[in-house]
């Protein structure tokens, strides 16, 4: 089986006419020799008038694929051209079907196309590039609306997009994929106000019709029952992963990487279920759908071991398989996950994030010396991304803090802060760099809170100021909203220790209101429900006898989750402590 290059590999870029670096938009492979894009993207690429003519252009188009590090050429098929002028009722608009001069066989697997876009709200993946080719292969998560808007388009809303990546103008012509990256549900055709992250998509049924008019529908793969099973499996894995977030604090970039590893694992199962004569992978997909992870980990383990037996490039493939296995095992067995990541490091010792993951899992296992060695290995890895250096300093600070070495922790956090500050100043519009800066301020405050409450309060307030700006700029981003709540909790803790009870109560009330708003928007948001226990508990203690209602509300959240095994040991221990606080109120 060929290595899976990932869903972004099928997306290419077209240069704007008359500019060496201008970006006209995207196109994507839907068959080895068939690409889809928007008519207006072809127009910008060829220098056509606006709106583009109704007559099919005959000039060659050139599409650059990063996965190939090369361009391919092709032409719009007869019958495959639909202008972006407003169509008659029921007509197609702004679609171009391109036949490539030579099939692209090096990019595999290609996505299937749905014959209709689902009518339910669903998470989606979109790949694109910023204007002027500033960044290739940005992956954006979105939420597809459940109903059509005028012109038959669908609205795509941003979904907690980490590091500030959102759909921009250069994304036009990119595929709107299911959460697994397996099936095309639509194509980006326009964006709302720049920077909003809101996009509009032509639905799959229109793309399918355009392929039919062009006579190209026989060369593409139509989504089938295996795709639907894989999508269901990914939905279950995502739900389990998001529930696990309530057990640990995760940085946004790492969350994205972990989800990508999980996607790659499920995509691998889907390919094997489709291609393999035995039913092991198909059974593993079915098991995932009902929440059983172990059969999938056995298939991933076998794939890893097959690659381990081969030398050369297969070693890197084995490392990728081990990372997929480790990420899935983290859902159920951190010790086995650690073994998988160690195997990944054996195969690819220069991968920065593998060592970071090992360091974090070693800390969970209680091996602090092993964690320190892993963090040192991460710091020695050759990485171009300066942010990685900041992550390594931050993780070293976390380790020192857990060992009680506050001076060393502060030094490491300040080194991480210096990097975050440089990145944030170099690109003030990058929300991810701003968030990194706020996290560094918060961690410095955590150290200062052990002895210098005034300094801690200053650091926490600096962190809150950044997070408040991010949350107001993107009120739909749950990550930013949770960050504001956490900052208010930290400030409330300091004010409580300083004897400023009224201010502390106000801070915890603000935190609780943020969590409740997130739960109102999404009643299935388990992490926000669990996180709201902290301000409820603090308020219960600060309000004395009047705080009983808050303490009982905290228990009402924790006890059902504990009964269903959805709480870590630490938070299960909170139940007894809160019960003791309620008993104390009666005395």
Per-residue pLDDT tens over the stretch 323-379: 989 989 988 889 999 999 999 999 999 999 999 999 999 999 999 999 999 999 999
Domain that holds residue 563: 488-587
- pLDDT, position 133: 44
Distance between CA 35 and CA 488 in Å, rounded?
Answer: 49
Say if residue 140 is in the same domain as residue 238. Answer: no
Residues 200 and 233 in one domain: no
Q: Residues 240, 338: one domain?
A: yes
Does residue 574 fall inside a structural domain? Answer: yes
Asked if 72 and 81 touch (Cβ cutoff 8 Å), the reply is no
Could you give the percent of the chain with pLDDT greater than 70? 90
Confidence band (pLDDT; 50, 70, 90) for 46? very high
Structure confidence at residue 564 (pLDDT): 86
pLDDT in tens, 280-294: 988 999 988 888 888
In a domain, 119, yes or no: yes
Of residues 95 and 170, more confidence is placed in: 95
Q: Is the distance from CB of 325 to CB of 341 less than 8 angstroms?
A: no
Q: Does residue 188 share a domain with residue 148?
A: yes
Q: Return the CATH number at 523.
A: 1.25.40.10
Closest CA to 172 of 108, 223, 127, 204: 127
Residue 139 lies in a domain: yes
Work out the average pLDDT over 390-399.
94
The string of DSSP letters for 78-134 reads EEEEE-SSPPPTT---SEEEEEESS---SS-SPPEE-SS--SS-EEEEEEE--GGG-
What pLDDT is attached to residue 195? Answer: 53
Does residue 29 sit in helix, strand or coil? strand
Q: Is the pLDDT of residue 402 over 60?
A: yes
Task: For residues 154 and 450, give the distance between their C-alpha atoms in angstroms, rounded to a whole number.
Answer: 51
Please give the pLDDT value at position 95.
96
Q: Is 494 contained in some domain?
A: yes
Number of Cβ within a 10 Å radius of residue 184 = 27
pLDDT score at 244: 65
Average pLDDT over residues 391-420: 95
- Asked whether residue 393 carries a pLDDT value surpassing 70, the answer given is yes
Collapsing DSSP states into helix, strand and coil, what is residue 550? helix
Q: Is residue 424 part of a domain?
A: no
> 288 Cβ partners below 8 Å, 6+ apart?
233, 236, 237, 266, 269, 295, 296
pLDDT band at 193 (very low <50, low <70, confident <90, very high): low
Q: Give a yes or no: residue 96 inside a domain.
A: no
Give the tens place of pLDDT for each residue, 444-486. Answer: 999 999 999 999 999 999 999 999 999 998 887 788 899 999 9
* Higher-confidence position of 152 and 10: 10
pTM for this model (two decimals): 0.74
Position 119 pLDDT exceeds 90: no
176 and 272 fall within a common domain? no
Is the sign of the CA dihedral 571, 366, 329, 177 positive or negative?
positive
Could you give the C-alpha distances from 108 to 70, 224, 375, in angstroms and in order?
Answer: 16, 18, 35
**pLDDT above 80 (res 164):** no
Query: For 479-538, how does the pLDDT look when each residue is reduced to its tens digit (9 = 90+)?
Result: 889 999 999 999 999 999 999 999 999 999 999 999 999 999 888 788 889 999 999 999
Using CA atoms, how far apart are residues 320 and 314, in angstroms rounded to an integer? Answer: 10
Q: Is the pLDDT of residue 313 over 50?
A: yes
| Crossing angle (nearest 10°) for helices 431-448 and 386-402 | 20
Does the structure show a pLDDT above 50 at 438? yes
Mean pLDDT of 258-282: 84
Give yes or no for residue 162 having a pLDDT over 50. no
How does residue 218 score in pLDDT terms, banded at 50, 70 and 90?
Answer: confident
The CATH number of the domain where 137 resides is what?
2.40.10.10
Are 200 and 236 part of one and the same domain? no
- Residue 351 is predicted with a pLDDT of 92
**Structural domains in the chain (count):** 3
| Banded model confidence at residue 394, pLDDT cuts 50, 70, 90 | very high
Bigger pLDDT: 310 or 125?
125
- What's the whole-number mean pLDDT along residues 6-33? 87
Helix (H, G, I), strand (E, B) or coil at 142: strand
Predicted pLDDT of residue 171 = 83
Does residue 165 have a pLDDT over 50? no
Q: Is the pLDDT of residue 190 over 90?
A: no
**Residue 349: partners with Cβ closer than 8 Å, 6 or more residues away:** 377
The answer to whether position 222 is within a domain reads no
- Per-residue model confidence (pLDDT) at position 132: 44
The pLDDT score that the predictor gives to residue 1 is 44
Q: Which of 331, 348, 365 is the last residue of a domain?
A: 348
Matching residue, tokens 């701003």: 434
155 & 191 share domain: yes
pLDDT, position 312: 60
Q: 151 with 247, same domain? A: no
Mean pLDDT of the chain: 87
pLDDT score for 131 = 47
Mean pLDDT on 153-171 = 62
Show which of 329, 348, 367 is a domain's final residue.
Answer: 348
Residue 479 lies in a domain: no
């Amino acid at each position: 089986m060929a290595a899976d290059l990932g869903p972004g590999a099928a997306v290419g870029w077209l240069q704007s006419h008359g500019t060496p670096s201008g970006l006209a938009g995207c196109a994507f492979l839907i068959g080895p020799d068939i690409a889809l894009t928007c008519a207006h993207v072809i127009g910008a690429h060829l220098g056509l008038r606006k709106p583009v003519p109704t007559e099919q252009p005959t000039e060659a188009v050139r599409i650059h694929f990063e996965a190939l590090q090369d361009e391919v050429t092709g032409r719009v098929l007869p019958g495959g051209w639909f202008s972006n002028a407003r169509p008659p009722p029921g007509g197609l608009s702004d679609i171009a079907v391109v036949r490539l001069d030579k099939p692209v066989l090096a990019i595999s697997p290609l996505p299937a196309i749905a014959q209709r876009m689902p009518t339910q709200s669903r998470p989606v993946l979109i790949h694109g590039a910023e204007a002027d080719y500033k960044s290739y292969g940005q992956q954006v998560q979105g939420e597809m609306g459940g109903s059509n808007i005028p012109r038959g388009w669908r609205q795509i809303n941003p979904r907690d997009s980490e590091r500030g990546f959102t759909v921009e103008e250069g994304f036009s012509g990119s595929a709107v994929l299911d959460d697994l990256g397996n099936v095309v549900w639509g194509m980006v055709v326009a964006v709302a106000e720049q920077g909003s992250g809101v996009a509009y998509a032509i639905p799959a049924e229109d793309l399918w019709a355009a392929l039919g008019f062009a006579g190209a529908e026989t060369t593409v793969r139509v989504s089938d029952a295996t795709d639907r099973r894989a999508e269901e499996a990914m939905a279950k894995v995502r739900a389990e992963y998001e529930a696990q977030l309530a057990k640990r604090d995760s940085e946004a970039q790492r969350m994205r990487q972990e989800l990508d590893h999980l996607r790659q694992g499920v995509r691998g199962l889907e390919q094997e279920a489709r291609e393999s004569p035995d039913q092991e992978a198909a059974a593993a997909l079915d098991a995932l759908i009902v929440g059983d992870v172990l059969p999938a980990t056995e298939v991933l383990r076998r794939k890893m071991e097959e690659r381990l037996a081969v030398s050369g490039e297969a070693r890197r493939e084995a490392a990728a398989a081990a990372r997929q296995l480790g990420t899935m095992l983290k859902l159920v067995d951190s010790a086995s996950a650690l073994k998988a990541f160690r195997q990944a490091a054996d195969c690819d010792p220069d991968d920065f994030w593998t060592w970071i993951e090992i360091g974090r899992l070693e800390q969970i296992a209680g091996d602090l010396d092993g964690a320190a060695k892993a963090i040192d290995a991460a710091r020695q890895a050759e990485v171009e991304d300066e942010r990685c250096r900041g992550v390594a300093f931050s993780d070293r600070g976390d380790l020192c803090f857990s060992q009680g070495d506050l001076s060393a922790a502060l030094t490491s956090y300040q080194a991480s802060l210096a990097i975050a500050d440089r990145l944030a100043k170099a690109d003030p519009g990058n929300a991810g760099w701003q968030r990194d800066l706020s996290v560094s301020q918060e961690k410095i405050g955590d150290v200062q809170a052990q002895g210098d409450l005034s300094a801690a309060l200053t650091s926490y307030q600096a962190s809150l100021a950044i997070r408040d700006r991010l949350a107001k700029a993107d009120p739909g981003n749950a990550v930013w909203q949770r960050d504001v709540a956490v900052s208010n909790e930290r400030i409330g803790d300091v004010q409580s220790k300083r004897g400023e009870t009224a201010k502390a109560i106000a801070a915890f009330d603000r935190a609780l209101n943020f969590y409740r708003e997130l739960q109102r928007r999404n009643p299935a948001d388990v992490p926000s429900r669990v996180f709201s226990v902290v301000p409820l508990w603090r308020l219960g203690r600060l309000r004395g006898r009047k705080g009983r209602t808050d303490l009982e509300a905290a228990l009402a959240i924790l006890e059902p989750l504990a009964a269903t095994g959805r709480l870590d040991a630490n938070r299960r221990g909170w139940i007894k402590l809160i019960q003791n606080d309620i008993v104390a109120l009666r005395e």
